[in-house]
């Protein structure tokens, strides 16, 4: 939170803590996809789809400081003036500082999507324009294993001794210490052994233009939607990506604006089913006094099932067979 350690703070200088809401965690998901495509009278193609997902919550922590407050250093203690704080955690750490990975909660979520494809009069182009809109990650995870939710409310000045927290690495022991120091009872702040966190719901709108053969421009607009007080958040973004695409090779250069203020220059390359790239290539190439963001991604598409083939047709006097999802020379 951009504060120094207690030993480096100025004695009895008042420091402010603003209102804030922090949610962090780790989860995995298992999903099923259902989709259907049909054509209009003008050969325009509409596709509808839904993903139903089971969410497996592994770790979570949240801190909700509802009102601004202040604190100052008095010898080896922090003196906090009033507080209205909610915090919670679900973790594999126990009071003995041992860690055991596992599933601390389950949840459900679903995605809804639709795309509209305008066909091209040019046989060399798969389509002219493809438009899409989707709502992603509408759901939540209920953490109810190795989980605790706490609330701290006071209006006077409370003394929190720094030495009491040395050596504490587990959230459980930290919460017990805070409760005991603030309220003379290690279980006073405990409200529940479960809590709920919303999945990162967001709205996506995109358009993909096939400019000329093998050259495309994609525009992607993402906006997060807050449905719960405690919720994982997806970044707001606007991304423009020109790309050159062949069956066995593809390269693109995404230009992004993250959270309406952070500019990113990226690049990705695809070799058959393997894709590697970064949305923030400038973070790797340009030295920054303060790192704002950075990423790298890799994906591998595997096709374990037999590919579908259409019947042979005649195109410009030549026989043509359409393959779906199969990379071959």
Reported as a single tens digit per residue, the pLDDT across 166-200 is 766 678 888 888 899 889 998 999 999 999 999 99
Q: Indicate whether 220 and 259 sit together in one domain.
A: no
Q: Indicate whether 99 and 64 sit together in one domain.
A: yes
Q: Is the pLDDT of residue 102 over 80?
A: yes
- 135 within 8 A of 58, measured Cβ to Cβ: no
Q: Indicate whether 211 and 292 sit together in one domain.
A: no
The DSSP call for residue 188 is T
Domain that holds residue 328: 247-329
Q: Indicate whether 229 and 281 sit together in one domain.
A: no
Residue 242 counted as domain residue: no
Residue 241 counted as domain residue: no
Q: Which two tokens stand for residue 97?
A: 């500082």
Residue 239 counted as domain residue: no
- 135 within 8 A of 149, measured Cβ to Cβ: no
CA 306 to CA 270: how far, in whole Å?
A: 22
Share of residues in the chain with pLDDT > 90 (%): 56
CA 167 to CA 320: how far, in whole Å?
A: 70
Structure-token match 């006097």, residue found: 317
Reported as a single tens digit per residue, the pLDDT across 130-178 is 999 999 999 999 999 999 999 999 999 888 887 777 766 678 888 888 8
Q: Indicate whether 26 and 51 sit together in one domain.
A: yes
- 147 within 8 A of 67, measured Cβ to Cβ: no
- The confidence score (pLDDT) of residue 10 equals 83
The DSSP call for residue 176 is H
Domain termination residue (choose one: 199, 234, 269): 234
DSSP 266-317: -EEEEETTEEEEES-HHHHHS--SS------EEEE----SPPPBPPPEEETT
- Torsions phi, psi of 309, nearest 5? -125, 140
Reported as a single tens digit per residue, the pLDDT across 35-63 is 999 988 788 999 999 999 999 999 999 99
Q: Is the pLDDT of residue 291 over 90?
A: no
Residue 39 counted as domain residue: yes
- The confidence score (pLDDT) of residue 72 equals 87
Q: Is the pLDDT of residue 223 over 60?
A: yes
């Amino acid at each position: 939170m951009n504060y120094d350690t207690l030993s480096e703070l100025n004695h009895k200088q008042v420091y402010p803590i603003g209102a804030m809401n922090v949610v962090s965690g780790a989860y995995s998901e298992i999903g099923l996809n259902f989709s259907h495509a049909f054509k209009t009278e003008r050969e325009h193609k509409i596709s509808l789809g839904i993903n139903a997902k089971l969410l497996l919550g592994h770790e979570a922590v949240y801190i909700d400081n509802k009102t601004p407050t202040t604190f100052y250093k008095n010898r080896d203690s922090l003196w906090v003036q009033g507080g209205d704080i909610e915090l919670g955690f679900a973790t594999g750490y126990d009071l003995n500082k041992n860690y055991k990975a596992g599933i601390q909660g389950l949840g459900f979520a679903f995605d809804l999507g639709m795309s509209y494809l305008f066909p091209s009069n040019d046989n060399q182009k798969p389509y002219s324009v493809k438009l899409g809109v989707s709502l992603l990650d509408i759901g939540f995870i209920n953490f109810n294993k190795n989980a605790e939710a706490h609330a701290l409310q006071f209006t006077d000045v409370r003394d929190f001794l720094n030495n009491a927290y040395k050596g504490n690495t587990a959230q459980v022991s930290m919460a017990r210490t805070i409760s005991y120091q603030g309220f003379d009872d290690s279980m006073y702040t405990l409200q529940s052994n479960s809590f709920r966190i919303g999945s990162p719901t967001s709205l996506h709108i995109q358009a993909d233009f096939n400019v000329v053969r093998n050259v495309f421009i994609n525009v992607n607009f993402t906006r997060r939607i807050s449905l719960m007080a405690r919720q994982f958040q997806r970044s707001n973004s606007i991304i423009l990506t020109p790309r050159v695409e062949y069956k066995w090779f593809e390269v693109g250069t995404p230009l992004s604006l993250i959270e309406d203020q952070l500019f990113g220059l990226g690049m990705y390359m695809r070799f058959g089913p393997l894709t590697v790239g970064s949305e923030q290539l400038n973070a790797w190439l340009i030295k920054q006094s303060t790192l704002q963001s950075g990423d790298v991604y890799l994906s591998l598409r595997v096709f374990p099932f037999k590919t579908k083939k259409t019947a042979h047709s005649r195109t410009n006097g030549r026989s043509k067979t359409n393959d779906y999802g199969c990379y071959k020379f």
